[in-house]
Chain A
């Protein structure tokens, strides 16, 4: 087993250069280390100026997404042992503008996410206080809209997979359509829209469908499928988008042939 491994890391310091450069570091090779450990070693011992994002170090916060040997990965979940010989190339997430070193700007994603209303939308809410008195006698079942929502495991299963998204944006880095068409809403945004569309408590599926059927939405997707391969949480955004296309198409035909039937 080698003692050390080389990391070639992108550096970009806008105050002193106009384009990114590459810097090589030699870090200890430990069987149980991940790339994030190597980056932290560099920052602690070798070069304190290296800038990068990380937080939970256990694959749930979505902060540490970077390109490792050309593939979008969570650096806290990518083991050095996977790349024994090295050198390991660490670059900022593709298709995003670089702010400094390995840090990219993600405001585009956040702006798009807001547009699909990733929260439960109800036509009217009833306050919680009403809830307890609205129990149907004998059944123990609370009525919908009384502040308390009941959901069966089957109803949960309909959207649970899409709710696993940690907004790490590895899918955007893997999606060539996002690279070619910057206006594209993108895999995570569309998967999160679906997460709420399929939630039994939500009532805005049609509204989201209309937003996502615009020129920058689901119809931009050509089902490359790389987003689902890159996703560390098995959200399967590609599947979410194809289902969205089918739903959008059925809705389109329905509104064409039976205009009175659509809400």
Chain B
């Protein structure tokens, strides 16, 4: 039974939502508030780069960026359908949302693959 792609999209939505729920609060707190406001010392460039170079970290950040982007795509699509009653614009909305998530994922993959 291959009824459309919805189950796959829902899987990405769920995985992305779970990752975002567990990890985004702390990451956003550190990067967006604690480090800039001086509550905690941000990692040095040397350490950040060496940490990022590790294959496991690359996989981690790829997942951390890509999956929540697909979570956003799926959720925002339905927010536009129901919240603003834009269901008649299905095609541009689908392209914008999942296309956007795809572009973000490709950018993440490129950046993480080509680290100096």
Contact = CB atoms under 8 A, between A and B. Distances in A.
Is any CB of A less than 8 Å from a CB of B in the complex?
yes
Interface of A: 176-177, 180-181, 206, 209-210, 213-215, 219, 222, 245, 248-249, 251-253, 255-256, 262
B17 to A, nearest CB: 11
A210 B3 contact: yes
B18 interface: no
A249 B8 CA distance: 7
A256 B2 contact: yes
Across the A-B interface, the 8 shortest Cβ-Cβ residue pairs: A252-B7, A249-B7, A219-B6, A255-B1, A213-B3, A222-B78, A180-B82, A249-B11
Nearest to B11: A249
Contacts of A222: 78, 82
Interface in B23-60: none
B12 to A, nearest CB: 11
A130 B4 CA distance: 44
Given A176-B82, A180-B85, A249 B10 contact: yes
Given A213-B6, A215-B4, A255-B1, 16 more contacts: A176-B82, A177-B82, A180-B81, A209-B1, A210-B1, A213-B3, A213-B7, A219-B10, A222-B78, A222-B82, A245-B10, A252-B1, A252-B2, A255-B2, A256-B2, A262-B1
A256 B8 CA distance: 11
Nearest to A206: B1
Contacts of A245: 10
Say what secondary structure dominates the interface of chain A: helix
Contact of A252 (B8, B78, B82, B85): B8
B45 to A, nearest CB: 42
Contacts of A253: 7, 11
Interface in B42-101: 78, 81-82, 85, 87
B102 to A, nearest CB: 20
Contacts of A181: 87
A213 B1 contact: yes
Contacts of A262: 1
Contact of A248 (B2, B7, B81): B7
Interface residues of B, number: 14
Contacts of A177: 82
Interface-central residue, A214, A249, A262, by most chain B CB under 10 Å: A249
A260 to B, nearest CB: 13
A111 B78 CA distance: 26
A181 B82 CA distance: 9
Contacts of A176: 82
A55 B113 CA distance: 69
A236 to B, nearest CB: 19
Nearest to A253: B7
B67 to A, nearest CB: 15
A253 B2 CA distance: 9
A214 B1 CA distance: 11
A244 to B, nearest CB: 11
Nearest to A251: B1
B87 to A, nearest CB: 8
30 contacts: A176-B82, A177-B82, A180-B81, A180-B82, A180-B85, A180-B87, A181-B87, A206-B1, A209-B1, A210-B1, A210-B3, A213-B1, A213-B3, A213-B6, A215-B4, A219-B10, A222-B78, A222-B82, A245-B10, A248-B7, A249-B11, A251-B1, A252-B2, A252-B7, A252-B8, A253-B11, A255-B1, A255-B2, A256-B2, A262-B1
